[in-house]
Amino acid sequence: MLSLKLPQLFDIHQVPKVFREDSIISGYRHPRSSALDCILSSFQMNNETINIWTHFLPTWYFLWRFCVLCSTLNFLTDSYTWPLLVYMMLICVYPFTSSCAHTFSTMSAESRHICYFFDYGALSLYSLGCAISYGYYVMPECWVNSWLHQYFVPIAIGNTVFCTSLSCYSRFLELQFPKRSKALRTIAFVVPFIFDTVPLIYRILLCCGGSCSPTGALSNHCYHLLFAFLTCFLFTAHLPERLAPGCFDYFGTSFCAQDIQVNRGVLDQGQETAVDVLHDHPLLGLSLPAALHHDIASSSSSSWDQKFTQ
C-alpha cells in the first residue's frame, strides 16, 4: 500500500534567512521542498497552511459565481456587462495564483521570489479589475467626460505596472534593508488602491451627505473599505505575532488575517457588483454616467435606423 509521509517542519534558526518571517518562530517547511512535498504540506498545519486555503477555497466560490453569471448575463453581446466580465475573471485568477505562490514558495530561494512575483502581479491585476469596474459603474456624473474619466483606466493600467515592478523590486532589498523593503511594498499597493477607490469614496461621501438614498450596496462597500484599511494596518504592523512571537505561528498572524480580510472584501465587492449589474443599475444605486447612457442610446438608435432603412 502506498503511504505518504508528511514533510518535516523546522524552527526559524533551521532555515535560511530569506525564508524567515518576522516574529514567526516555528512551522517552517524545508527550504528545498519538492513539488510533492509542497502539496502535501498544505494538508498539515504549518505557517503557510491558512494562507494556502484562504486563497484556494475562495477561488472555487468565485468560479461558481462566475458560472452563475455566465448563465444569467449575455457577456458576448451586452457591452454593459463587459467590465463585470473582466472583473470576475481577475478575481478568479488572483486567489488561485496566490494559493499556488504560498504552496510552492519553499522549493528554493529562487522559486520563492518567482512565486511571490506572480503573487504581486495577480494582486495588481485584481486592483486593475476594481479600477475597471469602478471606472464604468461608479464614476460620478459630474466627472463624466473629464480628464479623469477619460484616462482613469489607462492610469490604472500604469499603476498596475508600477505596483508589480516596485513590489517585485522590494524583494531584492528584503535581506539588507528590511524596513525599506516593507515601505516600498506598502507604497506599491497603497497608491493604486487609493487611486482606484477615489470614485467609490466620492460617491459614498455623496450618500453620507444626503445626495442619495443609502442602499445595501453602500454598507457593503463601506465594509470593504474598512477591511482594506485594516488589512493595510495589519500588514505594516505585523500584529498580533509581534506582541507574542511564537504564539501565532500557525493561525492568527497578520498574513492570515490579511488574507481573510482581502478575500472577504473581494467576496463582498464581487457579489455587490454582480447584483447591481444584474438589476441593471450601477453601484450604490446611483444612475449610470451620462456618457454610458449616451453610448447605449446611440448604439440602440443606430441599430434601429439600420433595421428601418433595410
Enumerate the known binding-site residues.
102
Cα separation of 258 and 240, whole Å?
Answer: 12
Residue ranges at the known binding site for Zn(2+): 102
Amino acid at the residue 288: L
Count the Cβ atoms, other than its own, within 10 Å of residue 211. Answer: 11
Does residue 23 come out as left (phi exceeding 0), alpha (psi in the -120 to 50 range) or beta? Answer: left
Q: Comparing C-alpha atoms, which of 55, 62, 118 is closest to residue 90?
A: 62
Q: Give how far Cα 1 sits from Cα of 4, 35, Å.
A: 10, 22
Find out whether 290 and 143 touch, Cβ atoms under 8 Å: no
DSSP 298: H
Find out whether 94 and 126 touch, Cβ atoms under 8 Å: yes
Q: Is 10 helix (H, G, I), strand (E, B) or coil?
A: strand
Cα separation of 45 and 47, whole Å?
Answer: 7
Cα separation of 88 and 29, whole Å?
Answer: 33
DSSP 242: T
Does residue 208 come out as left (phi exceeding 0), alpha (psi in the -120 to 50 range) or beta? Answer: alpha
Phi/psi at 28 (nearest 5 deg)? -80, 145
